[in-house]
């Protein structure tokens, strides 16, 4: 089942006052390029991106890093996204094809992300729903940002697929494999956590807490 689209006030749709025009990012990225991004920026991503929604896949990646073994794909200065994708062998036997892209919630991967962000040298991560405070700190140390993709935006996001570059760990189901695609103008996505520790999710929590306190005070 495809994830449902967010309400208008969620991070994927929220564009703060004064936000910049759409920025086109092309991988690989240098730290300075990433640090120039700020919360609320709208971006598209082009180049090779790697993805998986498998919890076992994340554990396997961390295990590789902890043992000092290289990952099957070089993610240095690259992107790793929580995007679901059904991929299969082509009918003509010439490699694989990817049928769709759709973001899934990143929060359940938070225990793995600090190790992956820094250990793999990532510049972009993303999905929807954000990451925990430990991951935000890892983003700052590494010079990496979290992108929020539109939930339910599969049709739009899938238009960015150009070809399957590589499929690793095919012992998993399709969506859990470590999949690398070439994409062009993947997005739009919102910079929801930047490389300086600013987070739209933290802002929303603070606003909600302030509103709750005001309501309690009014009812006292």
pLDDT of residue 209: 59
Bigger pLDDT: 150 vs 21: 150
Q: Compute the mean pLDDT over every residue in the chain, rounded to the nearest whole number.
A: 89
- Residue 212 has a CB neighbour count (10 Å cut-off) of 10
- Reported pTM: 0.85
How does residue 42 score in pLDDT terms, banded at 50, 70 and 90?
Answer: very high
pLDDT of residue 197: 95
How far, in Å, CA of 136 to CA of 124, rounded?
Answer: 12
pLDDT of residue 18: 46
Compute the half-sphere exposure of residue 25: CA atoms within 13 Å on the CB side of its CA: 32
pLDDT tens, residue by residue, 161-184: 999 999 999 999 999 999 999 999
For residue 55, give the 3-state DSSP assignment. helix
Average pLDDT of the residues in 135-152: 96
Contact 98, 87 (CB under 8 A): yes
Could you tell me the CA-to-CA distances from 144 to 24, 31, 97, 148, 196 in Å, in that order? Answer: 16, 8, 29, 13, 9
Average pLDDT of the residues in 5-18: 41
Cα separation of the two ends of the chain: 45
Bigger pLDDT: 35 vs 9: 35
How far, in Å, CA of 124 to CA of 149, rounded?
Answer: 12
pLDDT tens, residue by residue, 49-106: 999 999 999 999 999 999 999 999 999 999 999 999 999 988 888 889 999 999 999 9
DSSP symbol at 77: T
Could you tell me the CA-to-CA distances from 34 to 30, 67, 206 in Å, in that order? Answer: 7, 29, 25
Largest Cα–Cα distance of the chain, in whole Å?
A: 71
| pLDDT exceeds 90 at position 11 | no
| pLDDT exceeds 80 at position 5 | no
pLDDT of residue 22: 92
pLDDT of residue 9: 39
> Token pair for residue 110?
């938070």
CA gyration radius, the chain:
18
For residue 168, give the 3-state DSSP assignment. strand
Contact 145, 164 (CB under 8 A): no
| pLDDT exceeds 60 at position 217 | yes
pLDDT of residue 208: 58
Bigger pLDDT: 46 vs 215: 46
Contact 49, 27 (CB under 8 A): yes
């Amino acid at each position: 089942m495809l994830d449902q689209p967010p309400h208008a006030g969620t991070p994927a749709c929220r564009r703060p006052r004064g936000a910049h025009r759409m920025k086109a990012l092309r991988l690989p990225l240098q730290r300075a390029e990433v640090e120039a991004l700020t919360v609320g920026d709208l971006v598209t991503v082009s180049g090779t991106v790697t993805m998986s929604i498998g919890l076992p896949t994340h554990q396997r990646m961390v295990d590789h890093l902890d043992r000092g073994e290289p990952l099957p794909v070089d993610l240095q200065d690259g992107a790793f996204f929580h995007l679901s994708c059904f991929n299969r062998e082509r009918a003509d036997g010439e490699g694989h094809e990817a049928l769709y892209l759709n973001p899934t919630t990143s929060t359940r991967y938070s225990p793995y992300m600090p190790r992956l962000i820094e250990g793999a040298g990532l510049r972009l991560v993303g999905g929807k729903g954000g990451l925990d405070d430990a991951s935000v700190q890892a983003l700052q140390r590494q010079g990496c940002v979290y992108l929020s993709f539109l939930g339910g935006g599969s049709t739009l996001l899938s238009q960015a697929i150009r070809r399957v570059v590589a499929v690793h760990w095919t012992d998993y189901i399709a969506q859990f494999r470590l999949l690398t695609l070439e994409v062009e103008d993947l997005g739009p996505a919102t910079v929801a956590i930047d490389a300086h520790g600013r987070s739209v999710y933290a802002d929303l929590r603070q606003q909600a807490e302030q509103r709750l306190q005001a309501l309690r005070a009014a009812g006292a």
